[in-house]
Chain A
Amino acid sequence: MTTTTLERRAKHTRAASNNAPRKRGANKLQRVGLVLVGYLLLLGIWSYFSTYYFTPYILPPPWAVAAEMWHLLIDGTAFVQFGASIGKIAAGFAIGALIGAPIGLLMGRSRYWKNFFQQPMLVLGNVPGLTYAVFALILFGIGAVGPVVAVTLVALPYVALNVAQGVEEVDPHLIHMSTVYGRSRKDVIRSVFLPSVMPYLFSALRYGFAMAWKVEALTEVFGGRSGIGFMIRAEYQEFSVTGVLAWTGFFVLFILLVERVFLAQLENRIFAWRGGR
């Protein structure tokens, strides 16, 4: 009787392991299906209100916005304006990270520097994006410098505070282990500090980038000569809600692309070791 039970259990385990890939595939399909249903629901609500409650002049339907986006893609305007915005964000974020990372390193390693920088970083991080946009316009006028400075100021505290936390979280046991085995300072930085800080740096990249995009677009709305924010303002001045929504659509699509495709893949690759048990 025991043998029969064991055989039955073994058969059940084998069947379960054979079914595992099929089950995983079904789960993934279900997840994708749910996401699609969510998007369709959103588009349905939008279509309903644009058809029955508002005129297309006030709230154009999704298909009109999609047509406008297609038109902007075909004539190349979307790429030119996106290029302008991305360039400014990349420059601002790079400067913010270059200044923020060493500050974070100092804060994480020394209590003195932590006390010195913590409050200014918290203040910088809590200033509303709108304030940065307005000040950038007042200080630098209309042009590319204002958005770059605004993005720098948004990115800097995110990077500094996250790197500081990452450095503080480095496991001292791993440093002791490295010391006992005679590893050099360079080895410890490369093999212990950097990988420990990486999740925090990644988190700074993810949230800092999302914030930087919003502030950059806002700054362009007030004082840009190019970029998505500038185009949203231009369409607004022409009372083209379709145009405003088309550019907003590009904005959302780009954020989704960066978040769900680029960053997610990068994260999977860098943090493959977390996928263990």
Chain B
Amino acid sequence: MATVTVDCLRKVFATPTGPQTVIDDISFEVADQSFLSLVGPSGCGKTTLLNIISGIEAATSGSVEMKENGQAAKLAYVFQEPRLLPWRSVFDNLMYVQPVQDDAARERVTTALERVGLAHAAKKWPGQLSGGQQQRIGIARAFSVEPDVLLMDEPFSHLDAITARGLREHLQELWAHTRKTVIFVTHDVSEAAELSDRILMLAPGGRIHEDIQVTLPRPRRASDPEVAVLEASVLRRFEDLEAATKNQSAQLHSQTA
């Protein structure tokens, strides 16, 4: 039972023009074994929120609690870039994140590499792999530690459309197999519609604009008609949000002028 509880979270950055609120009093809960996507326009605080959840950044106020059967949940993170150690082989990159370097860890690593179809690349250097393969290694690394909660920050945004589609399908298979609690950041509405159980749409200024439950059957493909309908609906709300934001900033601008 891995759950994530985000309670009254705020993040304010000090900038030369004064304090800037990036996350403004956000609260939500992520259920066990669910796939939650955070979507929103650029600069709405998605990555900052994920970094606070992971412990990379500290919150200004509020709290994040991740529990697995009453204990601290084990965490893994798939970043935008693969973030592999270039001086370690693929296998050693995965071994690096294992809490204990024993035979069980070696077996987990081998299994994770097999699952992403890169067992044959175990002895290669990351620099010898393509961008898509490196990202698959990043995903394998995350799954190899058998996390309770998996955080993913736009993991396919740097890849070409075909590679990204293949990896999305692969991720769905892995998730169906392991049923980890996932928080997935993306600015791609189609990706969110294809992968998620729930979509949290963030507004500029770091507020939750809308909480959308997704009940479509799995496995899904981006080309499925239901997914396309959901995508169109989310996209429309996204456009409404952007229009409202533009109006607000125009009003603010005219008031100050």
Contact = CB atoms under 8 A, between A and B. Distances in A.
A180 B81 contact: no
A184 to B, nearest CB: 10
B155 to A, nearest CB: 13
B77 A180 contact: yes
Interface in B124-164: 124-129, 145, 151
Interface stretch (A67-75, A171-179, A212-220): A171-179
Interface string A167-193: 000000110111111110001000110
B64 interface: no
Contacts of B77: 177, 180-181
A180 B85 CA distance: 15
A273 interface: yes
Interface in B78-112: 79, 81, 83, 85-88, 96-97, 99
A177 B137 CA distance: 14
A187 B76 CA distance: 17
A81 to B, nearest CB: 40
Given A180-B56, A181-B76, A274 B85 contact: no
A277 interface: yes
B222 interface: no
A276 B88 CA distance: 12
Describe A's contact surface by its main secondary structure.
helix
Interface in A251-277: 272-277
Describe B's contact surface by its main secondary structure.
loop
B73 interface: no
B85 A192 contact: yes
Contact of A180 (B54, B124, B127, B128): B54
A178 B145 CA distance: 13
Contacts of B125: 272-273, 275-276
Contact of A277 (B81, B88, B128): B128
Nearest to A173: B83
A191 B85 contact: yes
A173 B81 contact: yes
B89 to A, nearest CB: 8
A257 B94 CA distance: 39
Interface residues of A, number: 20
Contacts of A176: 56, 83
Contact of B127 (A178, A179, A276): A276
B75 interface: yes
A195 interface: yes
Contacts of B88: 191, 273
Contacts of B124: 276
Interface residues of B, number: 24
B54 A273 contact: no
B19 interface: no
B81 A181 contact: no
A273 B86 contact: yes
Contacts of A173: 79, 81, 83
B54 A191 contact: no
Nearest to A172: B56
B219 interface: no
Nearest to A176: B56
A271 to B, nearest CB: 8
Contact of B145 (A177, A181, A195, A272): A181
B144 to A, nearest CB: 10
B75 A180 contact: yes
Contacts of A177: 77, 79, 83
A261 B108 CA distance: 41
A192 B97 CA distance: 12
Nearest to A271: B87
Contacts of B128: 276-277
Nearest to B124: A276
Contacts of B87: 195, 273
A182 B127 contact: no
A94 B120 CA distance: 43
A277 B127 contact: yes
B163 to A, nearest CB: 16
Nearest to B97: A181
A277 B86 CA distance: 12
6 contacts: A178-B96, A180-B77, A181-B75, A181-B76, A195-B87, A277-B129
Interface of B: 54-56, 75-77, 79, 81, 83, 85-88, 96-97, 99, 124-129, 145, 151
Interface of A: 173-174, 176-183, 187, 191-192, 195, 272-277
- Across chains A and B, which 6 residue pairs bring their CB atoms closest together, nearest first? A276-B127, A276-B128, A181-B97, A195-B87, A273-B125, A177-B83
